[in-house]
Amino acid sequence: AQTVTQSQPEMSVQEAETVTLSCTYDTSESDYYLFWYKQPPSRQMILVIRQEAYKQQNATENRFSVNFQKAAKSFSLKISDSQLGDAAMYFCAYLANTGNQFYFGTGTSLTVIP
C-alpha cells in the first residue's frame, strides 16, 4: 500500500508570514494525484489544492502553493501571508490514477500567532 508521511505534527507561524508544510509519499505508480486538505475546528474537510503528477508546473490557489518534486516524492504546501483563519489541521493525501482509494498522512496542526 502507498504511504504518505507528514513529519511535522505541529507547526506555528506569525500572522502575515509564510509557512511550509512537508509531505512525502511512497509509490511505484507514475500517474497519480496529490492533495492538501484543511480541517478547521469545525471538523469539516476542505480541499485546499490539488496536483496532477503528470504536470510539472506547481499548482497555486491564491495564497496557497505547492512545491512538487516528483523524483524526490515530495509535496510541500506553502501558505503565504498567513491569516488567523488558516489555523487548522492540514492533511496531505495521495490518489493513484489506477485506484480510487485515498491515502492520507497523519496531519500537521498549524497554529497562527497574532
Partner 1 sequence: DAGITQSPRHKVTETGTPVTLRCHQTENHRYMYWYRQDPGHGLRLIHYSYGVKDTDKGEVSDGYSVSRSKTEDFLLTLESATSSQTSVYFCAISAGRAVGGYTFGSGTRLTVV
The whole-angstrom distance between residue 33's C-alpha and the CA centroid of its chain comes to 12
Pairing of strands 108-113, 10-14: parallel
Residues in 17-36 that interact with partner 1 by CB under 8 A:
33, 35
Residue 53: closest CA among 97, 21, 98? 97
Least distance in Å: CB of 53 to partner 1?
A: 11
**Which stretch in 12-20, 22-30, 53-61, 102-110 sits in contact with partner 1 by CB under 8 A?**
102-110
Beta bridge partners of 108: 90
Answer yes or no whether residue 64 interacts with partner 1 by CB under 8 A.
no
The grid coordinates of residue 114 equal: 497574532
Binding site for partner 1 (CB under 8 A): 1, 4, 6, 33, 35, 42-45, 47, 50, 52, 91, 95, 97, 99-102, 104-107
